[in-house]
Amino acid sequence: MAHLAGSLTDRAEAIAEPLARDLGLALVDVEHVREGGRLILRFVVDRPDGLSLDAIAAFHRALEPVLDAADLIAGRHYVEVSSPGLLRPLRRDRDFATFTGRTVRVSTYAPVDGSKEFVGRLDGLVDGEVRLHLADGRDIRLRREQVAKARLHAEF
């Protein structure tokens, strides 16, 4: 199979997304990390009606031979598949639409109004701006490119 253009995670996502969709899953994230001296290509999947270990295992079984055939990775790597968990990251623009109305934690690259961390109700992504309603009653708009990280937030 010919190599696809783009970063390793972009190429892996292009391969994994249709496989996930065929299994009724949504591909939430792909990351390439080094943990404990191991190189890991991690895929995070979810399903609106809940995710089972069987579904995760089925995706893993379908994914590995396709990744091997694509020859994306030089050297020894581990492939992991997991669920996004309670504090799910919001990475794609569509995630901001899906989780509108939920409480999120957003970190910015540089301070905005004196802060780099915001927790509030997500009012969506509108015209390239992440809109939040904060607990103190303020509404804040952050340009998408200002957002370093965003994830669902749960109070315990």
Gyration radius of the chain's alpha carbons: 17
pLDDT-based confidence at 5, cuts 50/70/90?
very low
Residue 36 lies in a domain: yes
Does the pLDDT of residue 48 top 80, yes or no?
no
Residue 116 lies in a domain: yes
What's the confidence (pLDDT) of residue 4? 42
Please tell me which residue, 4 or 94, carries the higher pLDDT value: 94
Residue 20 lies in a domain: yes
Quick one: 78 and 103 in the same domain? Answer: no
Quick one: 78 and 98 in the same domain? Answer: no
* Predicted structure pTM score: 0.65
Range of the domain at 131: 93-152
Residues shown for the chain: 156
What's the confidence (pLDDT) of residue 6? 63
Does the pLDDT of residue 57 top 80, yes or no?
yes
For residue range 16-26, what is the model confidence (pLDDT) as tens digits?
999 999 999 99
Residue 2 lies in a domain: no
| Mean pLDDT along residues 128-133 | 95
Quick one: 76 and 103 in the same domain? Answer: no
**How many domains does the chain fold into?**
2
- Secondary structure E strands in the chain: 26-35, 38-46, 78-82, 103-112, 115-126, 129-134, 139-143, 147-152
For residue range 77-109, what is the model confidence (pLDDT) as tens digits?
889 998 887 778 888 888 898 889 999 999 999
CATH number of the domain residue 98 falls in? 2.30.30.100
Does the pLDDT of residue 151 top 70, yes or no?
yes
Residue 73 lies in a domain: yes
Residue 1 lies in a domain: no
Tell me which residue has tokens 């794609």. Answer: 92
Q: Tokens standing for 77? A: 């790597």
Quick one: 106 and 72 in the same domain? Answer: no
